[in-house]
Amino acid sequence: MKDLKWTGRLTIIGLLLLVINFMVIGGGHGYYELLFFTFPFPCLILNLFDEINILVILILLIQYPLYGLILDKNKKSIKKAGLIILITHIVFALIAYQNMPTGFK
């Protein structure tokens, strides 16, 4: 388990972000913007189907643990891997936000 230090940390962070997002969304009557910036990949799938399906939920749950796994597997170049993850996350967050379905605005 020591080899998966970042996977464990980012799993906890991802779950906390998920809880925070559910509170901000407020049962559908709140703000969705935070969701599109913290979980861009599931939101891109949401943009395609215009509804929450099992694929969206699956990607929602594995996004941050996958980030941690990438960092754990690239220990020698962790700064480079982290920068690539960060840039990719930001780019896809902006794309997801710009293409947000009208039902979520």
* Helix pair 54-73, 78-98: axis angle to 10 deg: 160
Is 30 in a helix, a strand, or coil? Answer: coil
Angstrom distance (rounded) from CA 48 to CA 26: 23
Confidence of residue 100 (pLDDT cuts 50, 70, 90): confident
Task: Report how many domains make up the chain.
Answer: 1
Provide the residue range defining the domain that includes 82: 2-104
pLDDT tens digits, 19-71: 999 898 887 677 888 888 999 999 888 888 877 789 889 999 999 999 999 99
- Where is 78: in which H helix or E strand? helix 78-98
pLDDT tens digits, 76-92: 999 999 999 999 999 99
